[in-house]
Amino acid sequence: MTLAWTLLALLVLPLIGVAAICLGAAPRKTALGVSLCNLIPGFLAFGVVLREGELLFGAEASMIREVFPVQFRLGMDGLSMALVGLTLVVTLAAMGVAPAEVKRAKEYYICLLLVGLGGLGAFLSLDLFYFFSFHEVALIPSFLLIGIWGQGDRTGAAWRMTLYLMLGSLVLLVGLIGLVWAAPETARSLDWRMLGETLRANPIPGPQQTWLAALLLVGFGTLVSLVPFHSWAPGGYASAPAPAAMLHAGVLKKFGLYGLLRLALPLTPIGWKELSWLVGILLAGNILYLGFVSLAQRDFRWLLGFSSAMHMGTIFLGLIGGTVLGLGGALLLMVGHGLSAALGFAVAGEIGHRTGTTWMQDLGGLAKRAPKLWFYLMIAGMASIGLPGLANFSGEILIFFGAWSAHPVLVGIAAWGVVLSSVAMLRAIRSISTGPVPSHLAAKEITDLRGAKEVWPMALLTFFLLAIGLVPNLILGPARPVLERILQP
Amino acid sequence: MLAYTPYLILLLPLLAAVSIRIFLHPFPRISVAVSTLACLGSFVGSLSLLVFGSVLGGVAAPSLPWVEVAGFRANFGLMGDPLARGMATLVSGVAFLVHLYSIGYLEKDPSRSRFFAELSLFVFSMLGIVLADNLVSMFIFWELVGLSSYLLIGFWVERPAAGSAANKAFLVNRVGDFGFMLGILGVWALLGTFHFSEFSARVSELPVGWGVTAVGLGLFCGCLGKSAQFPLHVWLPDSMEGPTPVSSLLHAATMVVAGVYMLIRVLPILELSQVTMMTIAWVGGLMTLFPALIACQQNDMKRILAYSTLSEIAYMVMAVGLGVSGPAMYHLMTHAFFKCLLFLAAGSVIHGCHGEQDIWKMGGLGKRMPFTASVLLLGTLALCGIPPVSGFWSKDAIFAATAHSPGLAAVSMAAGFFTSFFMLRMILVAFGGEPKNEAARQAHEGSFWMIAPMAILAVLSVLSGLVPVEKFLGISPEEGHAPWTLWLSLLVALAGFVPAYRLYRHAPQDPINVAILRYKFYVDEFYQRALISTQDAMAKVTDAFEGWVVRGFLVRGSGVVARASGQGLRLVQCGQVQVYAGLFILGVFFLLGWLWRGGSM
């Protein structure tokens, strides 16, 4: 038994959920149930990947080849496994955090399911067309989630984010087409695995590679909020409802990095090397420039948005390090950041929900009044500033070691970035959780997380942050052969 | 079986911390018992290793894999060498006494479950530093120690000052760790390993150059942060905002000497560069004097002791810089006992006076708290290096090492003079004369839990000077004392008592007032004005740039352009995102199809 159907099931289950909600099933319960059930095909597929290295669906069947070049092919290997796992966990946690009472609950939960589905689809697709479209599919519900259920300048933020990402996608699309185009006519394919083999056998000439790598860098970079294409992110996250911010910052943002790992690095290696000086400058911008901007933030959500964009710089450093160690660190940090950002936005959501504000100067004394919430705030904060034992640290340190020989100065900048982000995050934690309770909150009843029902999503994310931090081989072991292949000429 | 003992020693406190956090925190009594017993378990384990380990020879625990990728191998391995065994015994032993003391000190605090969980977390992390067999593992525990210090300083969450002090401690340490991290990366680049046991073998192949110096200085940065040496010393006095048992255990006896311990571990690398060693020796040398001067004009009892801690650690750093790790370890041990004792005694005073920490508001405590007064006096004799109490022997070993560098000998002996001065000042003001207020008048001794640990530490403070260190730590103190340093240092230390006695015997308020010392040489003010304000100003500027230029002009500008072009497509612009999405995907389909056909044509 090959269990290849599990890959399809991963995508079909959320669709069933969407259909059921449309037909009138209880939205929250359905969404939660579907996300929970989706763990089963996920685990089965992981089992196969761990044993056999990869799992493919539809790769042999030719479906609509005659009419159209696009084929619906799914696949999972050690690299996509990590990101699919991240998506499943964050989706489940996001559904758990999502409020039971919300206006237009039906549409709300459909949107959330679709965002998760988009992430899963993009990580599972072998065909570039689906790879690209699944990500686009996720953008629309994100737009709606921010525009309809968001807070603050939600319409502006939604528009800005969507326009920006669409523009980025456009550049990306040109790059992808160019990539396909660059293969010899007879061996052209939209399947990135075949395309990869073709392009390894017939490498693209140098200057053309540089152009393609640049297009992919700008395209994917915009989706990852690489400076200077970052400014959609903080505002978008600040305005988004908590579950949407969790899914977007935790999962969708990783799509761009995944694309760079899958396509730009192995298929345009010369171009990527040529551009690494540029990437170096931009990622230093992410770390230093956004690091300083995040210091000035006074709203906790904005701070999370900026610091989340800031950490992308460190991941990029892993990508240009040119070593398996660096790539492994980048992957670990991708997963770690996904979990910690999701936890951060979940906590921010709960704080906002309970106190009516996330302005840090208006908050205080949370540690006494809501110790459980404080605990998870600490975990999220400590993870994001790279405390050992939590996943982000193992990613960061491997990136430092992996990039040290090629870019020692950038490693120094990234290490200083750890200090900067600590300053911002510790100040935030202090003003939110310690000191006296401000007068306008003193009269308010501020409850802690109540019972297992409100705790489990955060405990789930914490569990995986700890597990990956303590045993990074959970991620690195299966992914290592894939990462090694990426760097092979 | 014995090979796994280090894991047991390490994991017992972690187990206690986790179980308290998850299950036991609603039951303070059980939490306290679990945490204390776990620490006792670690102590017994370490002690048995110390005793039986030396009988069996080296004990190496098997190591656990953490990360292994492409030639990079970082394992969790534990050291079983004499240095690690001795240090683990010291740390867990002192920690156990502080646990006992905390039972009394915090007996009425409703959050004491959290306190003991955090204390157990600290013991775990500190033992991790001690037992780690490579720099990466050590760095991991190093950071965890930073976290527990941060949590414990900020234990009284409702006090704003505690929150600021906790942040300051964490952030200043992060600055030091920045250099430490780069140093570790450099070690890996130079040696291709970060296992302590492989250092001595590999350094012989190294060419001496600026790279080695840079790496050594990077590692030293870690010590500057954790052991609070100039210019990163500013966090330690502030950390006194934490509960006194914390000040005693973390910020005097164990955590702050981790930097010295680390330096000893990487000594083979440091020794390659004369520049590094000179830097370490002189930073240490000057740092013995600098805080001793400040302490002469401080009024908070705990802060006075904190400055003396800075000065004492500097002696150890100086010794390492002079290449003699034996005396450094020796002083580390005796200092752990007598400084812990001094802090516990100070805690007893503060507890007895209902939280009063200003020595000028105490007075007359000698009659009301005779036990505390006598152990405090004993600790003072040890600190000042008066024979036959322990501090004399260990300080003497360090002074002997300075015999060939008169500059260092001069500053460190001058520091001894001021140490005697400020310690006697503190004792005379707080314990002599008449009570200055009601709290001091009603002062009383603490409970049995507080008295017993002080008594044990007092005995240890006296006896530890007579212990044959080389047997326990595997490092022999240097042989052959130079008599002139011995007599001169003793003379100078005794001389320090004279002016203190004359000035403060009956002083109702401080007869001298030196602003520069009261304001701690304005280092904090300098950091606030020059560094933190600059950083915040830069943050404001970049934020304004981000807000007005990037977000305001570029992004909104592009939005306007997009909307303007949208006017031309009024027909399809019905405001429905689904329509846009549909059109978009359709467009992609067509584009792809067209390309494909073009390709096959």
Residues within 8 A of A (CB atoms), B 130-189 only: 136, 139-141, 143-144, 147, 154, 157-160, 162-164, 166-167, 170-171, 174-175, 178, 181-182, 185, 188-189
**Domain-wise residue ranges, chain A:** 5-487
Residues of A in contact with B242 (CB under 8 A): none
- In chain A the first and final C-alpha atoms are separated, in Å, by 34
The residue that leads in pLDDT, B77 or A111, is A111
Are B556 and B464 contained in the same domain?
Answer: no
Cβ distance B592 to A188 less than 8 Å, yes or no, reads no
**Spatial distance between the Cα atoms of A158 and A144, rounded to a whole number of angstroms:** 8
Residues within 8 A of A (CB atoms), B 475-534 only: none
Cis bond upstream, residue B327 (ω within 30): no
Quick one: which of A318, A336, A305 has its CA closest to A276? A318
If you measure CA to CA, which chain A residue comes closest to B548? Answer: A231
Task: For residue B548, count other CB atoms closer than 10 A to its CB.
Answer: 10
Are B497 and B542 contained in the same domain?
Answer: no
Cβ distance B72 to A401 less than 8 Å, yes or no, reads yes
If you measure CA to CA, which chain B residue comes closest to A164? Answer: B555
A271-285, A379-393, B424-438: range with lowest mean pLDDT: B424-438
Mutate to test the interface with B, among A68, A397, A425, A458 (most CBs of B within 10 A): A397
Cβ distance A476 to B67 less than 8 Å, yes or no, reads yes
Are B529 and B491 contained in the same domain?
Answer: no
Cβ distance B167 to A412 less than 8 Å, yes or no, reads no
Q: What local confidence, expressed as pLDDT, does residue A355 receive? A: 86
In angstroms, the separation between the Cα of residue A408 and the nearest Cα of chain B is 9
Phi, psi at residue A357, to the nearest 5°? -155, 155
Could you say which of B158, B540, B562 has the minimum Cβ distance to residue A163? B562
Residues of A in contact with B163 (CB under 8 A): 430, 434-435
Query: Residue B546 is part of which domain span?
Result: 519-563
Are B489 and B582 contained in the same domain?
Answer: no
**Spatial distance between the Cα atoms of A477 and A473, rounded to a whole number of angstroms:** 5
Look up the pTM and report it.
0.90
CA B122 to chain centroid, in Å, comes to 11
Could you say which of A388, A472, A484 has the minimum Cβ distance to residue B144? A388
Mutate to test the interface with B, among A422, A431, A470, A471 (most CBs of B within 10 A): A422
Are B548 and B588 contained in the same domain?
Answer: no
The residue that leads in pLDDT, A206 or A123, is A123
Residues of B in contact with A297 (CB under 8 A): 543
The residue that leads in pLDDT, A20 or A70, is A20
Cβ distance A389 to B140 less than 8 Å, yes or no, reads yes
| pLDDT for A67 beyond 50 | no
What is the band of A183 on the pLDDT scale with cuts at 50, 70, 90? confident
What is the ipTM metric for this complex? 0.90
**Spatial distance between the Cα atoms of A89 and A342, rounded to a whole number of angstroms:** 10
Number of domains chain B is built from: 4
Are B301 and B396 contained in the same domain?
Answer: yes
Cβ distance B539 to A133 less than 8 Å, yes or no, reads no
| pLDDT for A66 beyond 80 | no
Helices A5-22 & A105-124 angle (0-180, nearest 10) = 170
Cβ distance A412 to B188 less than 8 Å, yes or no, reads no
Q: What local confidence, expressed as pLDDT, does residue A310 receive? A: 93
User: Per residue in A208-219, pLDDT tens?
Assistant: 889 999 999 999
Q: Is B350 part of any domain?
A: yes
If you measure CA to CA, which chain B residue comes closest to A295? Answer: B539
**Spatial distance between the Cα atoms of B80 and A252, rounded to a whole number of angstroms:** 47
Residues of chain B with pLDDT under 50: 568-575, 598-601
Residues of B in contact with A143 (CB under 8 A): 577
Cβ distance A434 to B160 less than 8 Å, yes or no, reads yes
Q: Is B92 part of any domain?
A: yes
Q: Give the residue carrying structure tokens 């005073």.
A: B349
Q: Is B193 part of any domain?
A: no
Virtual CA dihedral for B349, B351, B356, B358, nearest 10 degrees? 30
Cβ distance B70 to A323 less than 8 Å, yes or no, reads yes
The two three-digit tokens of residue A134, written as one number: 């699944």
Cβ distance A181 to B595 less than 8 Å, yes or no, reads yes
**Spatial distance between the Cα atoms of A327 and A317, rounded to a whole number of angstroms:** 9
Cβ distance A328 to B69 less than 8 Å, yes or no, reads yes
Q: What local confidence, expressed as pLDDT, does residue B559 receive? A: 59
Quick one: which of B310, B347, B216, B375 has its CA closest to B523? B310
Quick one: which of A427, A431, A469 has its CA closest to B174? A427
Could you say which of B167, B188, B559 has the minimum Cβ distance to residue A160? B559
Are B441 and B589 contained in the same domain?
Answer: no
Are B538 and B587 contained in the same domain?
Answer: no
Are B476 and B444 contained in the same domain?
Answer: yes
If you measure CA to CA, which chain B residue comes closest to A404? Answer: B185
Q: What local confidence, expressed as pLDDT, does residue B550 receive? A: 75
Q: Give the residue carrying structure tokens 């540029």.
A: A278
Q: Is B105 part of any domain?
A: yes
Residues of A in contact with B562 (CB under 8 A): 163
Are B553 and B464 contained in the same domain?
Answer: no
Cα A409 to Cα A226, B66, B390: the distances in Å are: 19, 27, 47
Instruction: Name the burial class of residue B294, with classes exposed (0-12), middle (13-18) and buried (19+) by CB atoms within 10 angstroms of its CB.
Output: buried
Q: Is B332 part of any domain?
A: yes
User: Per residue in B353-411, pLDDT tens?
Assistant: 888 888 888 888 888 888 999 999 999 999 998 887 888 888 888 888 888 888 998 99
> What are the beta bridge partners of residue B73?
B68
Q: Is B375 part of any domain?
A: yes
Q: What local confidence, expressed as pLDDT, does residue B346 receive? A: 92
Instruction: Name the burial class of residue B206, with classes exposed (0-12), middle (13-18) and buried (19+) by CB atoms within 10 angstroms of its CB.
Output: middle
Q: For chains A and B, what is the number of CB pairs under 8 angstroms? A: 172
Cβ distance B175 to A419 less than 8 Å, yes or no, reads yes
| pLDDT for A448 beyond 90 | no
Cα A277 to Cα A213, A280, A285, A406: the distances in Å are: 13, 5, 13, 11
CA B458 to chain centroid, in Å, comes to 23
The two three-digit tokens of residue B189, written as one number: 């680049």
Cβ distance A387 to B147 less than 8 Å, yes or no, reads yes
Are B578 and B451 contained in the same domain?
Answer: no
| A92-125 CB burial, b ≥16 within 10 A, e <16 | bbbbbbbeeebeebebbbbbbbbbbbbbbbbbbb
Are B497 and B530 contained in the same domain?
Answer: no
If you measure CA to CA, which chain B residue comes closest to A328? Answer: B69
| CB contact set of B299 (below 8 Å; sequence gap of 6+) | B358, B359, B360, B510
In angstroms, the separation between the Cα of residue B134 and the nearest Cα of chain A is 15
